[in-house]
Structure 1
Amino acid sequence: MKKILILSSRIPYPLIGGDRIRIYNTGKVLSRGYKVDLACISEGEVRKEYVEELKEIFHKVILFSYPGSKFRWNAFKGIFSNEPLQAHYYYFPEVQNWIDKNFGSYDLIFAHHIRTAKYIEHIDRPKVVDLHDAISMNYLKAVKKVNGLWRLIYGIENRRVLPYEIKTINCFNRSFIVSDVDRNYFIEHGADQEKIITIPVAVKDEVINRSPQVKEKNQIVFLAKMDTLANRDAAIYFAKKVLPLLKKENKKIRFIIVGARPPKEVLNLGKIEGIKVTGFVKDPYEYLEASKVVVAPIRFGAGIQNKILEAMALRKPVVTTSLGAQGIKGKDGEHFLVADRAKEMTEKILSLLEDREKRESVGKKARALIEKEYTWDTIGEKFLTEIEQII
């Protein structure tokens, strides 16, 4: 049996966030036909039960753990190079030495993100990279939304990431991206169109297979990993710009912000009447199932939003922005509702809150779209087909 090594810049467990879900399920799919090992880098110690869970999927799990101070020192040193800071942030000589000694025993190396591509760009071996989304496109929008140190960091990355992404695409056998929008952006900037393949995000089986028994409440939910700038901005924007308008028409409406690692700015939103910030919860999908409407008021970012697909899989009507809907093979008004201004978003949410049949109709069509386009059975076959062509 042929062997594949997957490189990850974080341990893909627990399954919080789209990147972890994608790495975990990619390994699960590839294990159908190959012996798959996982080498991952962790910022801080990793709980043993997480490693044991991964061993159920991967043949071997090779873990490199370092304190956060070493990652930050790496990033500081990266200031004086021409490569992205994040490529330096996750680069450790010990990891490089292990790869240099062991890559010959693998038939293919699968890097996740540009953060691990640096380790194998010089290696003469079949290699692919899952870029997930166009980070450089995200930075173009995000740099205008940040201040202080983050503005400096995003400014540096904004100049460096795109050339590095293009270089990576052109020197790897294949590069994967989650949406055609991101793919076309890369091609316009010099990427070899034969080497970059769109493989969308998929919804994990546990969500697809749920049988909701929860009764709807008069609430709206936003589910996301709260330590990212785009999600933090979305939560604050909705709480301060949209919710007050909603309350004028529906005084008892509640807004639930669900997701791990909320920063202080998001936690403070919980002080506003009608808002609850949960932080990490064991089963976040109970909140989605109990809500009449799911929102994803994303104002900048790239790729496909996993949180939107998960809500659609649960037959929930989603109201998002044109950016949030970007890359999803659905229609506004049929599979989800799109609104880019606070007043318009308010009107579309109210139209759902006041009409149960409309909520059910949108939710039903959303679910059908997920079953057709965004399950791991469908996406997994695309990964396997591409890998088979290389090895």
Structure 2
Amino acid sequence: MNYNMRILFLIQCFPFPPCDGISVKVYTLIRHLASKGWGCDILCFGNHDAGLRVAEFEKIAAGVKVRAVIPLPSTLERAFGTLSSLLKGLPPSFGGFKSRRFRAALEKISAETGYDAAHYDVINMAQYLPFGPKVPSVLSSNDAISLFYSGMIKECSGIFRKAYLRLSAWLIRRFEAAYYKRFDKVHVVSEADAAHLKNICPEINLEVIPLVVDKAFIDYKPQREHGQGKDAVRIVFTGNLAIPGIANGLFEFLDNAYAELLSGASPFEFHILGPNASPEDEKRVLAFPGVKYLRWAKDYKAFLMTADIVLVLDKSGTGIKNRVLEAMAFGKPVVGTKIAFGGIAAENGRHCFISNSPQETGAELKSLLTDTALREKIGASARELILSSYSMAALGPQWERLYKDIIPQKS
């Protein structure tokens, strides 16, 4: 097969500019394929300012055509959609993306010819498979979502929240088992996610391709450390504090290791970028001396660039953590849990420091705080790993093979 393919991408949120792990993956993928001469059409959901971003995206990515951007369902529509999904035994998150307008647009596009494959991005788009073009299909699930929910259940404390998560996990697992095998290929980002899905349904045709880092991080030129020539080294923690596994990991460290680290001879600044924290958690964070807390950073890259050490303390989760890849791409030494480095081929003590307890985290931070050369060495090794294994230059050919491999199955 030596012709350039044409792919229809169904996406739950317009991917430009990329603002989270999901949009970074699909944005970098589409740009890569377009640079190879492939046709990439997009049907997606988006908000009121999507029109301006569509024009800019199509300008910088020749070969990309945005077929339509459909408004997200209203609050009332989402409520009815969630209820409808539950009554049908489908994952409740489908309700947020259940849209007659999206379905109608998809059916109109599907009546056309010329597509070689259809790419459904993340589980919420899988519900549209019956209405998509009758061509080979790829579901890019990223993670094994039922496994992700199982981890959240362990970290969640509220009775009703646990009950909702258990119901969601059961419905998602059932959907994964019954529906994923209908796709010609299902993409996940780690072997752990693939093993979980294979255990659920051995018939799923799985492909593991890691996440890639946004080119803006790849193109970053390493600069002098923030801490060099200054009184204090800066430690930065990032993570959505609405996620129990992230918040619990942070507070375990603060409760059990922060005071000892603070009493050491080496001065440091501790900055927490933790969006979506509850008022109680925000108060709890600010009660610790010396902590500087931010709800949001307008320019995340600029904020991350000020870090000398990055801390990622997730206690639950699946797949690959995009914020870990981004920090490593910036040449920052990262200290984190085993889960934080899940799916990343990082060697402890060479590319990063992996801790098994708050006390270990404190000890590793203490070593980095007092040793500039160690920070530079770990950061440089981390960046080399990203460039060699987690850039689109490294992983783009795997995506090309994924699409090409499924075409003969239905030719």
TM-score by length of 2: 0.87
Structure 2: any 5+ residue segments left out of the alignment? 228-232
Structure 2 matches for 1:238-317, cutoff 5 A?
238-249=253-264, 252-258=267-273, 261-265=276-280, 267-268=282-283, 269-270=285-286, 272-317=288-333
Q: Post-superposition shift, 1:363?
A: 1.3
CA 114–345 in structure 1, closer or farther in 2 if over 3 Å, else same: same
Structure 2 matches for 1:115-126, cutoff 5 A?
115-121=124-130, 123=132, 124-126=134-136
Choose which of 205, 211, 217 in structure 2 pairs with 1:207: 217
Aligned to 2:199: 188
Contact 1:334 1:365 (C-alpha < 8 Å) held by counterparts: yes
SS of the residue aligned with 1:325? coil
Does residue 63 in structure 1 map to residue 78 in structure 2? no
Contact 1:7 1:109 (C-alpha < 8 Å) held by counterparts: yes
Does residue 98 in structure 1 map to residue 108 in structure 2? no
Rounded Cα–Cα distance in structure 1 between residues aligned with 2:214 and 2:50:
22
SS of the residue aligned with 2:221? coil
Aligned to 2:41: 37
What amino acid is aligned across from residue 128 of structure 2 in structure 1?
Y
CA 116–252 in structure 1, closer or farther in 2 if over 3 Å, else same: same
Does residue 166 in structure 1 map to residue 177 in structure 2? yes
SS of the residue aligned with 1:10? coil
Contact 1:227 1:260 (C-alpha < 8 Å) held by counterparts: yes
What amino acid is aligned across from residue 6 of structure 2 in structure 1?
K
Identity of aligned residues (%): 23
CA 388–215 in structure 1, closer or farther in 2 if over 3 Å, else same: same
SS of the residue aligned with 1:119? helix
What amino acid is aligned across from residue 108 of structure 2 in structure 1?
K
Aligned to 1:51: 54
CA 125–104 in structure 1, closer or farther in 2 if over 3 Å, else same: farther
Moved more, 201-210 or 75-84: 75-84
CA 309–358 in structure 1, closer or farther in 2 if over 3 Å, else same: same
Contact 1:200 1:304 (C-alpha < 8 Å) held by counterparts: yes
Choose which of 375, 379, 383 in structure 2 pairs with 1:359: 375
CA 168–122 in structure 1, closer or farther in 2 if over 3 Å, else same: farther
What amino acid is aligned across from residue 151 of structure 2 in structure 1?
K
What amino acid is aligned across from residue 27 of structure 2 in structure 1?
Y
Aligned to 1:127: 137
Aligned to 1:155: 166
Q: Deviations over 1:11-34 (max 9, x none)?
A: 223322211101111211222332
Q: Deviations over 1:311-354 (max 9, x none)?
A: 11111111111111221112111111111211111111111111
Q: Deviations over 1:84-105 (max 9, x none)?
A: 1112331112211221221143
Rounded Cα–Cα distance in structure 2 between residues aligned with 1:228 and 1:16:
18
Rounded Cα–Cα distance in structure 2 between residues aligned with 1:25 and 1:310:
14
Structure 2 matches for 1:78-117, cutoff 5 A?
78-105=85-112, 106-117=115-126
Q: Post-superposition shift, 1:261?
A: 4.9
Structure 1: any 5+ residue segments left out of the alignment? none
Contact 1:181 1:327 (C-alpha < 8 Å) held by counterparts: yes
Q: Deviations over 1:35-88 (max 9, x none)?
A: 21211123x534543333333333124111132332233113322221111123
Contact 2:103 2:131 (C-alpha < 8 Å) held by counterparts: no
Q: Post-superposition shift, 1:388?
A: 1.8
Aligned to 1:139: 149
Choose which of 3, 6, 16 in structure 1 pairs with 2:6: 3
Contact 1:219 1:256 (C-alpha < 8 Å) held by counterparts: yes
Contact 1:39 1:62 (C-alpha < 8 Å) held by counterparts: yes
Rounded Cα–Cα distance in structure 2 between residues aligned with 1:270 and 1:16:
27
TM-score by length of 1: 0.91
CA 45–182 in structure 1, closer or farther in 2 if over 3 Å, else same: same
Aligned residue pairs, count: 389
Rounded Cα–Cα distance in structure 2 between residues aligned with 1:232 and 1:69:
30
Choose which of 372, 382, 387 in structure 1 pairs with 2:398: 382
Contact 2:119 2:137 (C-alpha < 8 Å) held by counterparts: yes
Q: Post-superposition shift, 1:177?
A: 0.5
Rounded Cα–Cα distance in structure 2 between residues aligned with 1:228 and 1:41:
24
CA 104–390 in structure 1, closer or farther in 2 if over 3 Å, else same: farther
Rounded Cα–Cα distance in structure 1 between residues aligned with 2:296 and 2:51:
20
Contact 1:121 1:171 (C-alpha < 8 Å) held by counterparts: no
Rounded Cα–Cα distance in structure 2 between residues aligned with 1:303 and 1:312:
17
